[in-house]
Amino acid sequence: RPEILVTQHRDADGRLFPVEARLSAVAVDGRTRIVMLATALTENLSAQRRLQQQERIFRQVFQASEDAILLLDGDDFIDCNEAAVRMLRCGSKEDILPVPPWGLSPEYQPDGRRSTEKAREMIETAYERHFHRFEWTHTRADGEDFPVEVTLTLLELGGRRILHVVWNDITERKRNERKIEELARYDLLTGLPNRRLLQESAEALLQAGERERRPVGVMYMDLDRFKDINDTQGHETGDQVLSEVAKRLRGCLRQCDTVARLGGDEFAFLLPDTSVGQMQRIAERVIEALEEPFTVRGVSTRLGASIGLVRYPEDGRDLAELLKHADIAMYRAKDGQTGWCLFEPEQASNVLARVSLERELRHAIAERAIGLHFQPIVDATSGTICCLEALARWISPDGRPVTPDVFIPIAESTGLIHPLGDLVREIACEQALRWRRQGFAVPVTVNVSARELQSPDLVERILDTLNRHGLDGPALELEITESATMRNAGQNVANLARLREHGIRIFIDDFGTGYSSLSQLKQLPVDALKVDQSFVRDMVTDPADANIVETIVLLAGAMGLATVAEGIETPEQLRAVRELGCTRVQGYLFARPASAESVTELLKAGRVDIPGTGRAR
Ligand code: C2E
Ligand code: CA
Ligand code: CA
């Protein structure tokens, strides 16, 4: 075929001028020679020819490309190359051009979106950003779906905004990706699913089990004496034994069961729709199968196995928890005779209960599922309400209340005390504001834990909470345990002093238990001491306790501090603390901690009954 080029030649003066060269292959004497016919071009003609040449080159590239290339004007294809026709297995481009861009695709894309909508969005994005690349599934003329990578590039052609579309068939790439994914889900040595696949299968299975109320069994197994084999006979033998173990395990299971290798000589079983009885039989079958000697290169060795059994949903909420419990049961199995052991909740140490409680608590804080009860602190003679102590309340997801004595220590040891403290103060301020609006300007007292006191930005956060609610310092009071104030005293003193500058009153809680010295106490910027409940409880019967209370009251008085006696349950206790000079009291005798609504009723009265003073009793 002749080839036409536009090129340049030099005239006799050395000036360049445009030439159209026509190259043809000609057979001369049995040899192929190239003949060039050159024609000088005028400027005009030259420009035109050059354009034609560029177009020709473009068309050649367009046609020769292995990638399918199409030109899209809005929703209309205006051209496509041979590769596009081949890719879609159509007869000609006439089968493609009249169809809209989403017409060559299944109704839905793999991400679940309708092809029409997604295509429109992709095209819009390309027009906006001038370039857009994404994955797409097309349908070939014979009905087969296949994945492509689509690249859209915006071109300005003769004043029109055209999208240059490239489809790159990524069937092979996807297949490889899937293969790699597959590999990542199986244990290379035994071909069994690994932990990751087990996790995925478990998620689906536990969900279905929950929905359909079918029990799921989970077993955790490790091999006895496997380490010995590995150490004495070498890793190769160990590996062969493991492969053989995997083979035998599969032989013990039903089609629907999964056994996965978790690593080393640990295996886990996922048994759908399986009662405890069935699970025990499977465990016995597995143990029996592994009791047969293993023969590797003529040497026969004996193994054994221990299996822990757990039931879903009774023994755990997710795979991790189930496996943890199955692991505990497995250790029990090692002590026993049968080789397997069913998990009993008593086996779980407090640690495990704590871990799940921690998770629930974290969730509860995030969801603001912590509430507050309020307990008045009242004037010991008149019963006037001086302030209200806020006490955190939490109902765990299974509906049972968890007391602060349980969850506060967990919060303290896990750092959750910081968001919990923030939440408590937030709710306390909200409630204080509500009461203010109802005409009750009574301060709310919150407990601040020792851990919180060490947080460098505690003061800022407290002031911020107050500010956000438009409350002043005296609206909030803090109770800090004696032991907390004494730890790291320098820093604490500075923090407490700053809080007091803002009018926030500070009480020392559980006073008498922290063994602080008088000199330490003198430094503390505080307003009142709360005598610990334990002294109040026993002071009527135990003169030593009465003595301690008396000393505390004297001490407080000498330093200009008020004393609050807490935990007062009987009129005798009340009389005793009053005799010693306690001015404020708190306890079940006057009011139990109660919801904000009930406390509002007390606030309307402005005071509580003081029993044992002749009026109530
Ligand atoms: P606390 O600060 O010494 O609170 C007093 C506890 O004694 C409360 O228990 C209260 O309900 C109870 N109580 C009140 N009057 C009487 C009575 O007459 N007799 C008896 N036997 N008990 C009475 P609660 O609410 O279970 O709180 C226990 C502890 O948990 C609190 O002791 C406090 O240290 C901590 N706590 C509670 N809420 C929070 C909070 O929001 N943050 C922090 N950091 N700690 C909190
Ligand atoms: Ca307290
Ligand atoms: Ca206390």
* CB distance 109 to ligand 1 below 6 Å: no
Mean pLDDT confidence for 287-308: 89
* CB distance 376 to ligand 1 below 6 Å: no
Three-class secondary structure assignment of 368-434:
CCEEEEEEEEEECCCCEEEEEEEEEEEECCCCCEECHHHHHHHHHHHCCHHHHHHHHHHHHHHHHHH
* Closest ligand 1 atom to Cα of 532: 3
Q: What is the pLDDT of residues 488-541, one digit of tens each?
A: 667 788 888 999 999 999 999 988 776 566 667 777 889 999 998 988 988 888
From the CA of 62, how far away is ligand 2's center (Å)?
A: 80
User: 135: which strand partners?
Assistant: 149
From the CA of 530, how far away is ligand 3's center (Å)?
A: 7
What are the structure tokens assigned to 582, written together?
Answer: 């306690």
Task: Give the pTM.
Answer: 0.51
Of 116, 582, 139, residue with least CA distance to 381: 582
Mean pLDDT confidence for 200-208: 89
From the CA of 389, how far away is ligand 1's center (Å)?
A: 9
Q: pLDDT value at position 617?
A: 36
* CB distance 458 to ligand 1 below 6 Å: no
What is the spatial distance between Cα 303 and Cα 221, in angstroms, rounded to a whole number?
13
Of residues 388 and 581, more confidently modeled: 388
What is the spatial distance between Cα 8 and Cα 310, in angstroms, rounded to a whole number?
86
* CB distance 108 to ligand 1 below 6 Å: no
- Which secondary structure element, helix H or strand E, spans residue 445, and what is its range? strand 444-448
Of residues 521 and 612, more confidently modeled: 521
pLDDT band of residue 458 (cuts 50, 70, 90) is: very high
What is the spatial distance between Cα 162 and Cα 601, in angstroms, rounded to a whole number?
74
Place of tokens 């190769």: 236
From the CA of 390, how far away is ligand 1's center (Å)?
A: 9
Ligand closest to the CA atom of residue 365: 1
What are the structure tokens assigned to 464, written together?
Answer: 């911020």
Q: pLDDT value at position 347?
A: 66
Largest Cα–Cα separation, the chain: 140
* CB distance 593 to ligand 1 below 6 Å: yes
* CB distance 274 to ligand 1 below 6 Å: no
Q: pLDDT value at position 381?
A: 92
Q: pLDDT value at position 593?
A: 97
Determine the residue of 370, 391, 448, 508 to mutate for testing ligand 1's pocket, defined as the one with the most ligand atoms within 8 A of the Cβ atom. Answer: 391
* Closest ligand 1 atom to Cα of 411: 44
What is the spatial distance between Cα 142 and Cα 146, in angstroms, rounded to a whole number?
11
Residue 79 φ/ψ, nearest 5 degrees: -165, 160
Of 303, 278, 307, 281, residue with least CA distance to 219: 307
* Average pLDDT value for the chain: 88
Of 519, 520, 514, residue with least CA distance to 534: 514
What are the structure tokens assigned to 590, written together?
Answer: 């006057």
* Closest ligand 1 atom to Cα of 588: 18
pLDDT at 350 over 70: no
Rg of the chain taking only CA atoms, in angstroms: 41
Q: What is the pLDDT of residues 365-386, one digit of tens each?
A: 999 999 999 999 999 999 999 9
CA-proximal residue: ligand 1, atom 30 (nearest):
404
Mean pLDDT confidence for 122-131: 94
pLDDT at 215 over 50: yes
Q: What is the pLDDT of residues 6-31, one digit of tens each?
A: 788 888 888 888 888 888 888 877 88
From the CA of 391, how far away is ligand 1's center (Å)?
A: 6
* Closest ligand 1 atom to Cα of 510: 3
* CB distance 447 to ligand 1 below 6 Å: yes
* CB distance 423 to ligand 1 below 6 Å: no
User: 136: which strand partners?
Assistant: 148
Alpha carbon 98 to its chain's center: 48
Q: Give the pairing of strands 145-157 and 160-169.
A: antiparallel
| Helix, strand and coil in the chain, % to nearest 5 | 45, 30, 30
What are the structure tokens assigned to 153, written together?
Answer: 């590039």
pLDDT at 614 over 70: no
* Closest ligand 1 atom to Cα of 404: 30
Residue 529 φ/ψ, nearest 5 degrees: -115, 135
Q: pLDDT value at position 487?
A: 62
Mean pLDDT confidence for 71-93: 92
What is the spatial distance between Cα 472 and Cα 502, in angstroms, rounded to a whole number?
8
What is the spatial distance between Cα 332 and Cα 176, in angstroms, rounded to a whole number?
44
Q: What angle in degrees, to the nearest 10, is found between the helix axes of 319-335 and 350-366?
A: 170
Q: pLDDT value at position 33?
A: 84
* CB distance 375 to ligand 1 below 6 Å: yes
Q: pLDDT value at position 519?
A: 66
